[in-house]
């Protein structure tokens, strides 16, 4: 009797442990109750994450009808890829002096932009590109920036800085993601990879700053292609903050001001 009772207690304990383990795995994967440890578990959970399947059980070893297959294929077409780089090169005209009062002039050509300073000394230059932070409803991540330039002993490229920023309810400060203070007097295209790729949200942006040191007045610092390197994350993005939304209605009037347009 005692032996049977002991075996019953052990069985209950084992069942409790197994139940806890299964529940923990299920909670961790947020997938189906009958796919834990299945050889296709990762693919099956991907289907649930992307809305191709739902429920608590998947029945992974059941047959699939042609109709179900057609529905899955149709839905999968609208799922953006989770791999592959996205390259966006900013226009030369997006470059500007850090301060509008700086005595730095610009000359834009088809091959690049020339910065000339009327005196010796240093100045910062900035680029604020129009780049997507979300693509097909999924967040992108900033991987790197490639900068093409021509510097010289007369004009040294002395600093580069890559930033991101988040503006939710008002403009905010930038977040330094990468910097390089190496003095450069060469002509090159340099690929500046961030130490860790930064996932962007609908409320984020990115920019780049460089510094030129003019040892000879009116000598050109030439900047060519500036390419922002992005990659998909597969993470669904939420819309930006809608704290102050004005919805335009037909005719140009707003929801807050219903005066008819002339």
Please give the backbone phi and psi of residue 116, each rounded to the nearest 5 degrees, phi first: -130, 135
Tokens of 112: 């690049």
- Would you state the CATH architecture of domain 86-236? Sandwich (2.60)
Q: Which of 4-13, 130-139, 216-225 tops mean pLDDT?
A: 216-225
DSSP 8-state code for residue 93: G
**189/208 Cα distance (integer angstroms):** 15
**261/53 Cα distance (integer angstroms):** 47
Asked which of 96-100, 155-159, 185-189, 258-262 is least confident by mean pLDDT, the reply is 258-262
135 bridge partner residues: 138
As a whole number, the mean pLDDT across the chain is 84
Indicate if the pLDDT at residue 257 is higher than 50. Answer: no
- C-alpha to C-alpha distances, 104 to 78, 97, 112, 223, nearest whole angstrom: 48, 7, 16, 14
**Confidence class for position 241, pLDDT limits 50, 70, 90:** low
In tens, the pLDDT along 36-69 reads 999 999 999 988 888 888 899 999 999 989 999 8
Other Cβ atoms closer than 10 A to 29: 16
- List every span in the chain annotated with CATH 2.60.120.200: 86-236
**88/222 Cα distance (integer angstroms):** 20
Query: 45-51 long-range contacts, Cβ below 8 Å, gap at least 24?
Result: 47/72, 50/75, 50/76, 50/79, 51/75
Indicate if the pLDDT at residue 151 is higher than 50. Answer: yes
- Closest by CA to 160, choosing from 186, 176, 179, is 179
């Amino acid at each position: 009797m005692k032996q049977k009772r002991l075996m019953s207690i052990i069985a209950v304990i084992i069942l409790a442990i197994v139940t806890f383990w299964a529940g923990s795995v299920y909670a961790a994967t947020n997938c189906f109750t009958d796919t834990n440890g299945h050889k296709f578990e990762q693919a099956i959970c991907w289907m649930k994450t992307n809305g191709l399947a739902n429920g608590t059980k998947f029945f992974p070893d059941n047959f699939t009808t042609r109709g179900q297959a057609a529905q899955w294929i149709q839905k999968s077409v609208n799922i953006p890829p989770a791999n592959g780089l996205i390259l966006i090169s900013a226009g030369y005209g997006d470059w500007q002096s850090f301060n509008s009062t700086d005595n730095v002039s610009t000359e834009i050509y088809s091959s690049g932009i020339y910065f000339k300073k009327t005196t010796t000394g240093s100045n910062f230059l900035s680029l604020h590109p129009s780049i997507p932070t979300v693509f097909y409803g999924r967040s992108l991540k900033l991987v790197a920036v490639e900068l093409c330039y021509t510097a010289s002993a007369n004009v040294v490229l002395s600093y580069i800085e890559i930033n991101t920023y988040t503006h939710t309810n008002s403009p905010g400060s930038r977040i330094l993601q990468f910097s390089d203070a190496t003095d450069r007097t060469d002509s090159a295209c340099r690929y500046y990879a961030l130490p860790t790729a930064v996932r962007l949200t609908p409320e984020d942006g990115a920019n780049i700053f460089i510094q030129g040191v003019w040892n000879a007045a009116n000598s050109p610092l030439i900047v060519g292609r500036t390419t922002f390197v992005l990659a998909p994350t597969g993470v669904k993005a939420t819309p930006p903050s809608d704290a102050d939304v004005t919805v335009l209605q037909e005719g140009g009037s707003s929801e807050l001001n219903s005066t008819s347009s002339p």
